[in-house]
């Protein structure tokens, strides 16, 4: 696992598991359904 929040941010900053990666400006932690069909981000 990650030792601190900075390590976690570094690990997920380049995530591209859903279409949000193309337009996001910030990383937000949480779980919810994307507005894009069949995409879920965590």
Which neighbouring-strand residues pair with 32?
Answer: 41
pLDDT at 30: 67
28 or 22: which carries more pLDDT confidence? 22
Average pLDDT over residues 16-30: 82
Average pLDDT over residues 12-41: 74
30 or 34: which carries more pLDDT confidence? 30
Q: Do 31 and 37 meet the contact criterion of CB atoms below 8 Å apart? A: no
DSSP secondary-structure letter at 24? Answer: -
Q: Do 40 and 18 meet the contact criterion of CB atoms below 8 Å apart? A: yes
pTM value is 0.49
Q: Do 9 and 27 meet the contact criterion of CB atoms below 8 Å apart? A: yes
pLDDT at 42: 46
């Amino acid at each position: 696992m990650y030792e601190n929040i900075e390590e976690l941010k570094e690990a997920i900053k380049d995530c591209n598991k859903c279409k949000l990666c193309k337009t996001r400006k910030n990383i937000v932690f949480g779980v919810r359904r994307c507005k894009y069909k069949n995409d879920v981000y965590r």
